[in-house]
């Protein structure tokens, strides 16, 4: 009888393990097979995924500094990707390299174009969740450019495309279009340290859409002028994300770091609750 009850309990646990749980189990199994000892959980944060931050176009990873500091102070392990912005495959590869270096499950966070990157890179078996920060979220077979169709143009977000195909945000329109809630000094620094993006990336079709198999959260800045009205909300609803609206511009990752970190923290806690039993299940299944 005791054996039958145990089998029923194990069956119930197995039924509750979804796609995210399986991904976490795969990560734990990979660590076990490689001989590395999985980290021992010490509370929910310790069990949570490493947070990997992925920047978008026209910026680099340094813009995440305040979010990094906030999450690190909360006890999270945080890593930041430096995307070359030269192609979708280059940016995905840069992200995967960082994911591969992490010791366990990963929560991917992407801003703007970084949303496209995490949508493709997020099928990595270590990834247990996705957070979109004013970010694009195409489906497999779609291009990023298609996400703009049917929405009004973002008239205050002006991109100057160079002869070589790389684009910069117009310097005269940078503050109003990209960082309206930043102080003048911060907006000027962002403007003058822009990382240009190869504009052809927006016409690249995705092969995968990780949001179809991973839980997603979406942070929408109410004064984001980089996208037409309704576009961010439409994408977030389509992918079934848990949506949080916050004050701020397109640069909310820089200007509203606490609000952004709060959502990431909530997502990390949610994935930790799923990943813990999955990792245990993965270890039990090893011969």
Instruction: Give mean pLDDT, residues 148-161.
Output: 96
| pLDDT higher than threshold 90 for residue 216 | yes
Q: Where would I find the H helices in 149-256?
A: 174-178, 184-192, 231-238, 252-255
CB atoms within 10 A of CB 202: 20
Instruction: Give mean pLDDT, residues 161-188.
Output: 97
219-268 confidence digits (pLDDT tens): 999 999 999 999 999 999 999 999 999 999 999 999 999 999 999 999 99
| pLDDT higher than threshold 70 for residue 27 | no
3-class secondary structure, 192: helix
Give the residue with greater pLDDT, 13 vs 268: 268
Check which CATH number belongs to the domain holding 57 and give it.
3.40.50.1820
What CA–CA distance (Å, rounded) separates 25 from 31? 10
Based on the structure, what is the number of domains in the chain?
Answer: 1
Write down the residue that tokens 């309704």 correspond to.
230
| pLDDT higher than threshold 70 for residue 79 | yes
Of 26-35, 190-199, 230-239, 248-257, give the lowest mean pLDDT range.
26-35
Q: What pLDDT is attached to residue 280?
A: 41
What CA–CA distance (Å, rounded) separates 26 from 282? 7
Percent of the chain with pLDDT over 90: 77
| pLDDT higher than threshold 50 for residue 281 | no
DSSP H or E run through 268 = helix 257-284
Range(s) of the domain holding residue 71 = 2-284
What CA–CA distance (Å, rounded) separates 229 from 211? 23
């Amino acid at each position: 009888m005791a054996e039958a009850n145990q089998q029923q309990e194990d069956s119930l646990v197995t039924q509750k393990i979804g796609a995210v749980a399986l991904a976490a189990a795969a990560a734990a199994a990979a660590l076990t097979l490689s001989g590395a000892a999985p980290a021992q959980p010490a509370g929910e944060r310790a069990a949570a995924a490493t947070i990997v931050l992925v920047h978008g176009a026209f910026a680099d990873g340094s813009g995440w500094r305040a979010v990094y500091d906030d999450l690190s102070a909360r006890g999270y392990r945080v890593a930041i990707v430096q995307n070359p912005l030269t192609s979708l495959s280059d940016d995905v590869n840069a992200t995967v390299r960082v994911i591969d270096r992490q010791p366990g499950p990963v929560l991917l966070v992407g801003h703007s174009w970084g949303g496209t990157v995490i949508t493709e890179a997020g099928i990595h078996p270590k990834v247990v969740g996705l957070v979109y920060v004013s970010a694009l979220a195409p489906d497999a077979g779609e291009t990023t450019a298609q996400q703009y169709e049917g929405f009004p143009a973002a008239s205050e977000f002006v991109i100057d495309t160079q002869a070589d195909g790389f684009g910069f945000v117009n310097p005269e329109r940078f503050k109003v279009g990209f960082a309206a809630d930043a102080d003048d000094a911060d907006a000027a620094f962002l403007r003058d340290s822009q990382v240009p993006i190869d504009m052809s990336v927006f016409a690249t079709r995705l092969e995968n859409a990780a949001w179809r198999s991973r839980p997603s959260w979406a942070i929408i800045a109410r004064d984001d002028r980089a996208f037409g009205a309704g576009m961010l909300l439409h994408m977030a609803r389509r992918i079934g994300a848990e949506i949080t609206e916050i004050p701020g511009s397109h640069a909310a990752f820089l200007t509203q770091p606490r609000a952004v970190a709060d959502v990431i923290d909530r997502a990390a806690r949610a994935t930790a609750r799923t990943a813990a039993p999955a990792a245990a299940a993965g270890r039990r299944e090893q011969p």
